[in-house]
Structure 1
């Protein structure tokens, strides 16, 4: 799967850009503020229905324009093509696939699997547990069709239980009992999926990190499910009800899950340099890509912002070589040229971005 044609209109400083990306590596070079990251952001919007830089899409619309639009012609693993388009205006957000209205943003994500590596990729290590949960759930979303529904049902029940915990209505305890049954059922299933995929990811990430980092020992991962392993979730919810009522929210469950990463038995944050941590983050992302290719024989699109940040030329070549082996489409931004590293990725195109304009480099 890859984007064969991309049309972007009125997206930040991009007035109108239309081009045919390479099936492999696409490199956007240019000065800061030229529009490189906006190109990635437009593709991200196409795949997820939201921006990675702003919670309000109104701020993404160019200048005094009334709307933005991003449309792509996507070639699937077969010979079939899909037309995916998104638009935002004062009337709201709309998305279509082959002319049919998209009701949920998850439909876009399923149609156009995306992985985004930002210049702040260390958040998966340094940020809160939600970043690690998001990493873990990305693979489940694309590999396990039942997971999407389970995840949605669990979070709906969690929201309702938290509301009931804070209400002063006399019936609050009956409501809690009803939502506890759903939370326990869906929560146990979500956790089973997470535990199963983590063991597969650990093997893949360990092998990838060995290729990228060489001298660092094997990678292991510890999954913390969000409540004690010695007791069922339903029992925990009952035992801690009074405390949850006082706190006003549910303190135990899959929404509190965590993943810890170790290299040679030690926390990667303690023993890896900043550059090595960046390489480790690439290993985590590429592990998901490899698993998707292996299990579902499906490719994704990889977006990398500020590729040269905290990566030396040798590690850049290793990352590009692995991406080339995986055979996925990649979009990269950089302020530096990558002429030497491109030997690791022969199927590539370079574009120069200046003042919101795109020019293919020969």
Structure 2
């Protein structure tokens, strides 16, 4: 048979399409998708189901385009993306946390690196990917999530059965903050044990409703309260927010070491204010040097989940209570947050299921003469 007789638009068999899909690279995991696809077709339609361990709804359109390019025939494509998010086996039984599958601590070695803004945008990005998300503002001294999410001054959670706080909602995300329980006149000069006590009270008495991910906006630093929190709460993984300046990286090192000490996996580093995007021409410039997060990640074997630009709009939006992911969903910054959210979910899923992350074998290319 001569190869030129073979027409390009002969439909692929389901098995052929399946093989090609399995070999496709999943950018969120940095490796081939493997055995997560199901293909069912007839002469009119190709129905493809993708089951991932992390939420990735925003990739629908991009994946449809990729699959159409592989199948290259006239049949209609129906793609379903499903997320099966595993629950972290919890250490200890904390009442309010029964409704939470995974707790993710967001930490920074020092203040001023944009950790709270990162937390809120990451949580909202995760919700946009299709997950059920909560934010716990554990920064006792400077709780800012209330402001970042546009809650009115004086917001208080409803209370159920005289002991459970029902977290207020913003943008579809459940939120609990120390700011909801204190007034402007509350003394902020609390001592360590009081702070930890208040924190544990919020943790044990908030009635979270069926969350896939609860993001804890940790107080900055690596002292006692951080260690206590990390030890008492069943944290599935942590993220370190850093800026590219070396001093911040030294602080980030302490953060990574703290989590290592309490055996909490560090899922990755988010490098904030890493590039400046020129508002006139869109050019990206790494004003603080380029290699910080990467060298940190290499040294400790953690991923850089993403780099965020130094952007006035991120801050301005935050200050008026409309985070940039909500306010400018089409922006570059929102798509970077989306990518960080998916990578975070993928990293956590792979870590919870170590067999799964490298179990598939790459398809072998067979030679045939048709």
The TM-score normalised by the length of structure 2 is 0.29
Compare relative contact order (CA 8 Å, sep 6+) and give the higher one, 1 or 2: 1
The TM-score normalised by the length of structure 1 is 0.30
